[in-house]
């Protein structure tokens, strides 16, 4: 690819960037990353530049490099940049995504890396790789699944459709249990979606026991949630309890959140109040 080449580099051949502004790394986040690398492997390559003599300097991905050292990995996948032009490197990676045979998790990690490290936007990703914006957002959300579930997705035991359905469950333990059942019983994506819907419906009933709610309010609420989901191009949940209700709008990134806020019209209202 113009501007970049991929390689599996020895961890010991890489040195940190002396100009790295971050010197303190969150230990809990680092532990989570170590667990993910051990169970799922590397989803995102680091970015380095060749400094000669078989040595490389980190440009992006120091947490991944540190985690790789901590778990005893000898090599790490890396993008060796041949240009200082970030835009050229980003374009090269965008062109490579739809040509590479990536599993759903690798695809999600590639999108996330392009958004966070290379300044790409959801619209640009959608246009360049021929996907819809909701598809990209939903794919990125797969990175929120617990590590054991991610491992099954990466291995091809669970499809991307199964994984997206599991995201409907908020509890990671429930996601893992249903993932095991999908594999054991050979459940289809449709059957998984129905089980998730039942689990969501049963949850509030057990806590507040409002049997009247499930019979009277659920159809109208589900219809409203579907319409809002279509409106915002993301999953929306509408719940009513005994004394109050809530609307939950899911988003994948800060960019996606800003898009939704703009559609709601919060920014426009703020502008009007400033003028007055």
Q: Which residues are catalytic?
A: 62
- Closest CA relative to residue 202, chosen from 167, 149, 239: 239
d(CA 177, CA 195): 12
Order of all β-strands in the sheet with 55-60: 4-10, 75-81, 46-52, 55-60, 14-15
List, in order, residues 6 or more apart from 175 with CB less than 8 Å away.
Answer: 145, 146, 149, 166, 167, 169
246-to-32, 205, 238, 239 alpha-carbon distances in Å = 31, 16, 6, 5
Helices within the chain (DSSP H only): 27-39, 62-70, 86-97, 104-117, 122-129, 133-140, 147-154, 160-166, 172-185, 189-208, 211-216, 218-232, 254-264, 266-275
* CA 200, 204, 207, 211 torsion-angle sign: negative
Tokens read off for 118: 């290379």
């Amino acid at each position: 690819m113009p501007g970049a080449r991929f390689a599996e580099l020895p961890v010991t051949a890489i040195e940190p960037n002396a100009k790295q502004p971050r010197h303190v790394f969150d230990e809990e986040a680092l532990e989570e990353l170590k667990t993910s690398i051990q169970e799922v492997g590397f989803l995102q390559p680091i970015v380095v530049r060749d400094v000669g003599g078989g040595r490389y300097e980190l440009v992006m991905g120091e947490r991944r490099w540190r985690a790789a050292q901590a778990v005893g990995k000898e090599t790490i996948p890396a993008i060796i940049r041949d240009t200082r032009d970030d835009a050229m490197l980003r374009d090269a990676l965008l062109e490579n995504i739809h040509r590479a045979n990536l599993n759903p998790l690798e695809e999600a990690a590639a999108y996330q890396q392009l958004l966070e490290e290379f300044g790409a936007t959801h619209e640009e990703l959608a246009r360049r790789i021929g996907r819809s914006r909701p598809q990209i957002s939903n794919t990125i959300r797969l990175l929120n699944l617990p590590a054991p579930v991610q491992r099954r997705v990466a291995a091809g035991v669970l499809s991307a459709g199964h994984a997206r359905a599991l995201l409907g469950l908020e509890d990671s333990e429930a996601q893992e249990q249903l993932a095991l059942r999908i594999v054991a019983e050979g459940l289809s994506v449709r059957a998984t979606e129905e089980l998730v819907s039942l689990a969501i419906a049963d949850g509030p009933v057990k806590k507040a026991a409002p049997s009247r709610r499930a019979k009277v309010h659920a159809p109208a609420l589900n219809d409203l949630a579907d319409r809002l989901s279509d409106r915002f191009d993301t999953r929306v949940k509408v719940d009513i309890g005994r004394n109050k209700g809530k609307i939950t709008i899911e988003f994948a990134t800060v960019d996606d959140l800003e898009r939704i806020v703009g559609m709601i019209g919060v920014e426009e209202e703020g502008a009007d109040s400033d003028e007055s």
